[in-house]
Structure 1
């Protein structure tokens, strides 16, 4: 027994040594301590904020002007100085002077105005005119569903000129005369309208009226041809809108309607030196209302097919002979 004990002690030491150098089931190696990884969502706590490259020179909420950053650049471009670019306003694009230029004559129907060498008595009677009525006004350009026939609303026109005035004579067919208003509303009753473009070639293809385009209404008389005096009202240009007492008008009743003649000073149309051979944009129209007690533009006929009052490109031509 004395010989066995030392041997057992030696074996036990060897086993203990082996066990301390091996990992046995049920034993785990302790996890080494490490500092926790910072929460990357808390950017403000762990690292400075990096601004994204700018894509706009605007900082005021106005129209943005997008710019592309240079490749490889991560710095924010310097903002544009407000004194160099007003970014709160949309710049107005000015058309070039040649943007709407074109021929000097409109392709639509042409009315020839003969030169006068005598004075006309502006009283509505067209017997003095030479040549006589020459152009019809029978294209329905508004209210076709309210227009019955030529006896309801149509007409014919003649024109003349001298150095001071443009003269117009109109014979109207209208079964019932109704004009119950005045001034800017004369178109809501039986009346005449003329459209005049002083300088055709400058804005030949412009579909809106400009400063050289004129629209004038002629009322033969309120509540009847002879009840109230005739009246001329200019709608355009708006800067010169209003009643035009210098337009002289005469009107009379006829068997199937009424007749109107009037003379317009060239100065009112911005024309300083009218001359033979001149051409102007021009259209004439007749407004009709057949319902007494109302202000109504039931139908409109013109000497130009497709005429629209606010689009000079749809007007015709006036030629000074």
Structure 2
């Protein structure tokens, strides 16, 4: 009996001891009445900072209202429609119904020559029209009449040459110049505008306007012949490809020339029209190279104004 009481008492003590360990005032590491910063404030700040940073607006949120990414790039200026004003074009060549409307100085015809004339200074084989040259266009004060200076010319063509035959009445033959001074002696001048309709109203020389001077012979008509191209200036110089023949007599001389179309850079054809003038220069002083006077087929010939020239038409 005594032994049973001892065991019961021991069990009771163990139970009381276990209950004592679980009472609130008996913890070994009591929790402070206020939380420590490391476990509360720091976490709080971390939470605030995270809440500030994370919800930052995405860059595309605002611009999407102002920028439409589906908008196509700006279109170029619209092309002209069929009713729009077209770009300025060079003026069209005038329709020619009256040749007098092209050049008021007159209209001349160059017939096609199926047989080339013999270049010998003799006109026997020429069957074309003889056109007069008696209009004094320079040095009227030095011109004393028909015997001093007057002339006529004939003209024709084939696929290779423009042919020119000139008869000059001149009481004193004087030609001692050469090269660029060739016009200062007795000589023939040919003016040709090979793009007549391209610059019909231009009153100045262009690259399509040609001035060619031909000498019947240095010292006499039996002397050395020469041709010199003055314009266009980019092509200026002596032209040895011009074939020249001449014959002199008492108070007159005759000259024939075959002028290659290649000089003018064109291919001739029936119906082609050119600005055109033929004139004759005179010098009566054998001791001095000087152009004293000039007669022409056109009344107001001016070298630098192609509108004062006449009209030449090629015909087959």
TM-score scaled to structure 2, two decimals?
Answer: 0.68
User: Does residue 172 of structure 2 align to residue 179 of structure 1?
Assistant: no
For residue 258 of structure 2, the aligned residue among 263, 285, 292 is 263
CA distance in 2, matches of 1:140, 1:196: 20
Q: Name stretches of at least 5 consecutive residues in structure 1 with no aligned partner.
A: 1-95
CA distance in 1, matches of 2:191, 2:248: 24
| Aligned-pair Cα RMSD in Å | 1.6
Residues 218 and 103 of structure 1, relative CA distance in 2, 3 Å threshold: farther
Superposition deviation, residue 97 in structure 1: 6.2
The structure having more radius of gyration, on CA atoms, is: 2
SS at match of 1:224: coil
CA distance in 2, matches of 1:279, 1:106: 11
Residue 316 of structure 1 is matched in structure 2 by: 310
TM-score scaled to structure 1, two decimals?
Answer: 0.67
For residue 111 of structure 2, the aligned residue among 107, 110, 114 is 114
Residue 148 of structure 1 is matched in structure 2 by: 144
Superposition deviation, residue 256 in structure 1: 2.7
Residue 37 of structure 2 is matched in structure 1 by: none
Residue 206 of structure 1 is matched in structure 2 by: 202
Aligned positions of 1:23-38 closer than 5 A = none
Residue 62 of structure 2 is matched in structure 1 by: none
Superposition deviation, residue 309 in structure 1: 1.2
Q: Name stretches of at least 5 consecutive residues in structure 2 with no aligned partner.
A: 1-87, 97-101
Residue 154 of structure 2 is matched in structure 1 by: 158
Superposition deviation, residue 306 in structure 1: 0.4
Residues 102 and 314 of structure 1, relative CA distance in 2, 3 Å threshold: farther
Residues 248 and 145 of structure 1, relative CA distance in 2, 3 Å threshold: same
Superposition deviation, residue 119 in structure 1: 2.4
CA deviations over 1:150-186 (Å, ceiling 9, x no partner): 1111100100011111000000000000011101111
Higher helix share: 2
CA deviations over 1:76-128 (Å, ceiling 9, x no partner): xxxxxxxxxxxxxxxxxxxx864796566423222211111112111211111
Counting matched residue pairs gives 223
Aligned positions of 1:1-321 closer than 5 A = 98=90, 105-131=102-128, 133-226=129-222, 228-272=223-267, 274-321=268-315
CA deviations over 1:232-265 (Å, ceiling 9, x no partner): 0000011111011111000110333100010111
